[in-house]
Structure 1
Amino acid sequence: MDDLTGFQRDLLTVTAGLDEPHGLAIKEEMEDYYEIEVHHGRLYPNLDTLVEKGLIEKSKADRRTNVYTLTKRGSRELNARSDWEAQYVET
């Protein structure tokens, strides 16, 4: 995960946390977090990068909607990142 941008790590986290992680739902969650509009030209290329890296899978829900799900590798990477962060952040 050290080669991902912060935005890509956030996309991975949001994808893991949604029941039906399709593009629009991910976009809305990211916009809520960042408090700015997330343009399609930023969202989808970054999702595609995560697919290329084997961290998420993309499948078709219908002709217009893609669903993004965490792979086993993506889940392992996300958990490892969380464990690493927990070493430095007190709760």
Structure 2
Amino acid sequence: MDDLTGFQRDLLYVIVGADQPSGQDVKDEIETYYSAEINHGRLYPNLDTLVNRELVEKGQLDRRTNYYEITDHGREQIEQRRKWERQYVDV
């Protein structure tokens, strides 16, 4: 997970915190956090990176809508990251 961008980590956190969010759901949530519009050209290639690294699985809700779900590997990576962060910031 150390080779992910901050944006990719944020996407991963949004996905793990939701129940099979669609790409639009992820976009809406990340836009709220960033207080800025995120275009499709930024969002979907980064989601694909998470899928390619087997941190997230992509499924199909219908012909037009995909959903994203954290994998066990993705969950492990988040846990390791959180453990590392707690060494420095114990809130």
SS of 1:88 mapped into structure 2:
coil
RMSD: 0.7
- Distance (whole Å) between structure 1 residues aligned to residue 40 and residue 83 of structure 2: 31
Q: Percent identity?
A: 57
Deviations 1:18-44 (A, max 9, x none): 123110110011000000001011000
1:88 paired residue number: 88
1:56 paired residue number: 56
Give the counterpart letter for 2:69 in structure 1. T
SS of 1:4 mapped into structure 2:
coil
SS of 1:81 mapped into structure 2:
helix
Q: How does 1:65-80 map to 2 (within 5 A)?
A: 65-80=65-80
- Distance (whole Å) between structure 2 residues aligned to residue 77 and residue 90 of structure 1: 19
Q: How does 1:1-91 map to 2 (within 5 A)?
A: 1-91=1-91
Give the structure-2-normalised TM-score.
0.97
Deviations 1:2-55 (A, max 9, x none): 110000000000000012311011001100000000101100000000000010
Give the structure-1-normalised TM-score.
0.97
